[in-house]
Structure 1
Amino acid sequence: MTTTGTTLVIGATGTTGSRTAARLTAAGHRVKAGSRSAGPVPGAEPVRFDWYDSATHAAALDGVDRVYLIPPLGDPDPAAVMLPFLQQARVAGVRRAVLLSSSAIAGGGPAVGAVHQALPGLFEQWAVLRPSWFMQNFTGTHVHAVSIREEGAILTATGSGRVGFVDADDIAAVAVHALTEERAPDTDLILTGPEALSYDDIAAITTEVSGRPVVHRRLSYEEMRDRLTALAVPPEFAVILAGMDRAIAEGAEDRVTDTVQRLTGRPPRTFRSLLYKELR
């Protein structure tokens, strides 16, 4: 790795942001940990950052030469707030930007796809991380994890479609590589775990490891959309998420890549090993 200046990690208390900040500080890099609460992050300088409060942006960017970007959660049009910030970041001296997107959204696609498309025109050094669905969705506070604990069920509109679920720690490892290596990737990177699993497979493995029965309940697209809306997901974003489930059912996420192995030098974690770590 090359010696870097200071990295602003946006969403530094979140799933991938906290892991990325921890890896950067452990490797001796200077980090400004941006979050709405400006809560403490070990080894990093906490700084208040709110996508929707532009008054927080200048202080967060002060002295920063690279940034890890977590889009505002649940916003169907994140470009409206992200692109003005990125233009400000370039003027402030940021040279490299690494954006967290999704394997389901290509450059120019909906939501964060517009930011992906704009990024190469804003920064000479860049990367877009496009991870598959997080393994942590089944162990944290995500709707799937809650329904597993409360109902013993995972509810999706994915049918028998398979997904290359990826560990958030592996995403963070790739993020650190993209932020700190001498040459930026200057491309998008699709990140998956080592195997593609259906939600039936996820339920079976969770049952095996936890010792509690878990089933996969198959919903229609409309049922999934309405369920998300009932859970207070904004209707426009619920349509996007339910549409992603439908795409999975049609095979859009049935793939694995070697990106984690190639960039970090180690194989990605399996879902079973993550559960043993989290639940045992």
Structure 2
Amino acid sequence: MSILVTGATGTTGSRVAARLAALGRPVTAASRHPAGAGPAGTRAARFDWYDPATHAEALRDADRMYLVPPIGEPDPAAVMLPFLRQARSAGVRRVVLLGSSAIPAGGPGVGQVHEALPGLFDEWAVLRPSWFMQNFTGRHPHADGIRESGVITSATGTGRVGFVDADDIAAVAAHALLDDPVPGTDLVLTGPRTLSYDDVAAVITEATGRHVTHRPLSYEQMRDHLAATGMPVEFAALLADLDRRISRGAEDRVTDTVERVTGRPARDLREHVVRYGRRPG
């Protein structure tokens, strides 16, 4: 039996697929553009949340799944739950869902999928990571802003976040997919310390030699800034509101989940920036 990894070209999915393949596990690397979607030894499959015709082939021989919700979808439960019921009928017995530290079970968006999992599968886990360190070094508006102008824009004020490395998320995901029993169901993942966006700018400046600053916006300014990039207004409002919650302390916490599950400490932001070895811009 194989492990289906959706979003296999994305920030966490690509890392989960690579980690499982390195452990010798059969993996189906699924994405909308499957050519080159997974590492050597994986089976590539086309998968589109919005195209049910792609679902059966992606599920072929799968008994476990790592699920990345459809990006930008304000109501992921409407899209995901029919697929989850199909997966259960196809023989999938364990599901690991990528959620968010900001959204608990029963909350909006992916929180509705989280709440439904116990009624669908006996074995399941939801990874609820804090904000990704890769937002500052990979493909993300924050990283683009650093490269283009040395500016990080947010509505977080002086709020603090326990930023987490996607490699640590993938490591926990592999344990959640493979360990017996599952090492927890509601797994909140953070890095080893909380940082404000001003702190992040200072860490990147010190680690790269490129002067980076944080430009704070109001909730309304951030919402309009995101919408101006072409993002659906409803989703732009959701993301801006998450920033506003950060400003009020919602993400100012550190957990030991990464170390407890993997046996090693979570990676620090400075270590992440140095490890990637790229000077922004």
TM range (shorter): over 0.9
- The answer to whether structure 1 residue 189 and structure 2 residue 191 are counterparts is no
> Counterpart of 1:57 in structure 2: which amino acid?
H
Indicate conservation of the 8 Å contact 1:104/1:244, yes or no.
yes
- 1:67-112 per-residue CA deviation (whole Å, 9 max, x = no partner) reads 0000001111111110000000000000000000000001111111
> Counterpart of 1:254 in structure 2: which amino acid?
D
In structure 2, distance between residues paired with 1:37 and 1:29:
22
Alignment-derived partner of residue 277 in structure 1 = 275
Alignment-derived partner of residue 107 in structure 1 = 105
Indicate conservation of the 8 Å contact 2:183/2:261, yes or no.
no
Greater displacement, 145-154 / 180-189: 180-189
Picking from 73, 80, 93, the partner of 1:82 is 80
Indicate conservation of the 8 Å contact 1:125/1:186, yes or no.
no
Alignment-derived partner of residue 203 in structure 2 = 205
In structure 1, distance between residues paired with 2:185 and 2:42:
28
Greater displacement, 89-98 / 182-191: 182-191
Alignment-derived partner of residue 49 in structure 1 = 47
Indicate conservation of the 8 Å contact 1:126/1:185, yes or no.
no
Q: Which runs of 5+ in 1 are unaligned?
A: none
Alignment-derived partner of residue 159 in structure 1 = 157
Indicate conservation of the 8 Å contact 1:33/1:45, yes or no.
yes
- The answer to whether structure 1 residue 7 and structure 2 residue 6 are counterparts is no
Alignment map for 1:110-259 (pairs within 5 Å): 110-185=108-183, 187-259=185-257
Greater displacement, 250-259 / 205-214: 205-214
Alignment-derived partner of residue 73 in structure 1 = 71
Picking from 18, 31, 35, the partner of 1:39 is 35
SS in 1 for 2:45: strand
> Counterpart of 1:231 in structure 2: which amino acid?
T
Give the paired residue count.
276
Identity %: 66
In structure 1, distance between residues paired with 2:190 and 2:26:
28
> Counterpart of 2:143 in structure 1: which amino acid?
A
What is the CA-CA distance between 1:233 and the residue it aligns to?
1.3
TM-score, structure 1 as length reference = 0.97
SS in 1 for 2:34: coil
Indicate conservation of the 8 Å contact 1:125/1:185, yes or no.
no
- 1:150-209 per-residue CA deviation (whole Å, 9 max, x = no partner) reads 111001000000000000000000000000001124521000000000000000011111
Indicate conservation of the 8 Å contact 2:204/2:212, yes or no.
yes
SS in 1 for 2:204: helix
Alignment-derived partner of residue 24 in structure 1 = 20
